[in-house]
Amino acid sequence: MNKFTYLHNELELLKQDNLLRRCVCIDSAQGPTVRMPDGSEKVLFCSNNYLNLANDTRVKQAAIETIEKYGLGSAASRLICGTMRPHEELETAFAKFLKKESALYFPSGWCANQALLTTLPQKGDLVLIDRCDHASIIDAVKSSDADFHTYRRNQSEQLEKYLTDGKYKNRFIVTESVFSMDGDIAHLAELVELKNKYNATLIIDEAHSLGCFGKNGAGLCEQEGLLEQIDIIVVPLGKAIATTGGIIAGPKAVKDYLINRARPFIYTTAPSPVVAAAAMKAVEIIQTEPDRRKRLQDNAAYLRNTFTEMGLDIGNSTTQIIPVIIGDSARAMSLSKKLFEAGYFLSAIRPPTVPSGTARLRVSAQAHHTQEQLKGLCETLKSLL
């Protein structure tokens, strides 16, 4: 008997339920359009390359110059000999950008959340997470020794009830600022008020916000005038920054503690210095070119308004992430396939990424999408519904 028969059986069940996933290869740089291995071109509407920095000439040049000076790999963990000047320069830049005392760079956003949320909250502590938080937050909190509860952001009384429980030593509130599958936002001012009232630590993940919001592009916290009131900010760098890695910015004591106690920091090879340099150049561009944010938000507003006029369900999206909620997974898959054939690349998002019965097309705008591309998507989608 094949010892992996059970895997084949489970994969077959996923296929029958229209939940089987496969990777789709792209044979070009990421941009508003991409080339597929068969030579065809698709307009890309499912990427997190919101500000189109993934193929920016200046970002690429920063990487080229760094690889000439430092090579490609860091060759060790940060504490052995893997910390290199570009790592420290990026941390200094982010601490200043986010108005925090210090910052620490990790190989991925997942790694950053895992390090932070399995190390700071400890036995006898309480962690409260939004029920729509990213899997990296959920899995990290489940792995910690602290107790945790989820809350609904439209029911602040539920969150406050948890905070009033006096048996806990420390309390943490953890949320994304922009929710990755719904495109709506956290009630940041309310969370700041509650964390002050109950002396809780507020941690905000700005993955889909940094670069896209704020006068200087520092995210939704900056846009709402709350940047300096947030205790710790986590920034995965794979979205608007268009590189890889994750930043944790906050008090120096937090950085020092993570360096000494966070297993995902201590026991993993440091990120490439080349990527760190590229990320720093992207941050510089974000701060000096606010027009990218304006174009992104204009494009997003066009899509939201047009989809609404078409009678589509886009939930409560107010950002560049616009879910077109279909409901049935098979239908979402079918629409995704037909759009792809028509020249538009949109992935169907299905359970367990989203709740059962809410399968969707996750449309994400980019700053460099043209009006013709936006209009073409809307018209093609309308013809398929």
Does domain 57-288 sit in CATH 3.10.310.50?
A: no
Provide the β-strand partners of residue 359: 327
Specify whether the CB–CB gap between 286 and 213 falls below 8 A: no
pLDDT of amino acid 192 = 98
As given in the structure block, the two tokens for residue 102 are 């210090």
Q: How many angstroms separate the CA atoms of 69 and 177, rounded?
A: 37
* DSSP assignment letter at 248: E
Tell me what pLDDT residue 1 has.
65
The CATH superfamily holding the domain 18-47+291-384 is: Aspartate Aminotransferase, domain 1 (3.90.1150.10)
Predicted local confidence at residue 156, as pLDDT: 86
Give me 55's structure tokens: 């193929």
- Within the chain, strands assigned E span 33-35, 41-44, 102-106, 126-130, 147-151, 171-176, 201-205, 232-236, 246-250, 321-327, 344-345, 348-349, 359-364
What is the reported pLDDT for 200?
Answer: 97
pLDDT in tens, 297-350: 999 999 999 999 999 999 999 999 999 999 999 999 999 999 999 999 999 999
Residue 193: what pLDDT? Answer: 97
pLDDT band at 293 (very low <50, low <70, confident <90, very high): very high
Domains 18-47+291-384 and 57-288 belong to one CATH topology: no
pLDDT tens-digit series, residues 239-282: 999 999 999 999 999 999 999 999 999 999 999 999 999 999 99
The CA distances from residue 219 to 178, 258, 331, in Å, are 9, 24, 35
CA pair distance 201, 122, nearest whole angstrom: 13
pLDDT tens digit string along 94-121?
A: 999 999 999 999 999 999 999 999 999 9
Give the model confidence (pLDDT) of 12-69 as tens digits: 999 999 999 999 999 999 999 999 999 999 999 999 999 999 999 999 999 999 999 9
pLDDT surpasses 70 at 9 = yes
Q: What is the pLDDT of residue 215?
A: 97
**Mean pLDDT score, 138-146:** 97
Model confidence pLDDT, tens digit, residues 147-200: 999 999 888 889 999 999 989 999 999 999 999 999 999 999 999 999 999 999
Per-domain residue ranges of the chain: 18-47+291-384, 57-288
Q: Can you tell me the distance from the alpha carbon of 332 to that of 327, in angstroms, rounded to the nearest whole number?
A: 7
Q: Write out the catalytic residue numbers.
A: 180, 208, 239
Contact 251, 98 (CB under 8 A): no
pLDDT for the residue 2: 86
Q: Which residues of 206-243 are buried (b: 16+ CB within 10 A; e: fewer)?
A: bbbbbbbbbebbbbbbbbbebbebbbbbbbbbbbbbbb
- Name the residue type at position 22: R
SS3 assignment, position 128: strand
- Predicted pLDDT of residue 67: 98
Q: What single-letter amino acid sits at 108? A: S
pTM: 0.96
pLDDT at 204 (0 to 100): 98
Mode of pairing for the β-strands spanning 102-106 and 246-250: antiparallel
Tokens encoding 374: 């936006």
Dihedral of the alpha carbons of 93, 98, 104, 105, in degrees to the nearest 10: -70
Q: What percent of the chain has pLDDT over 90?
A: 97
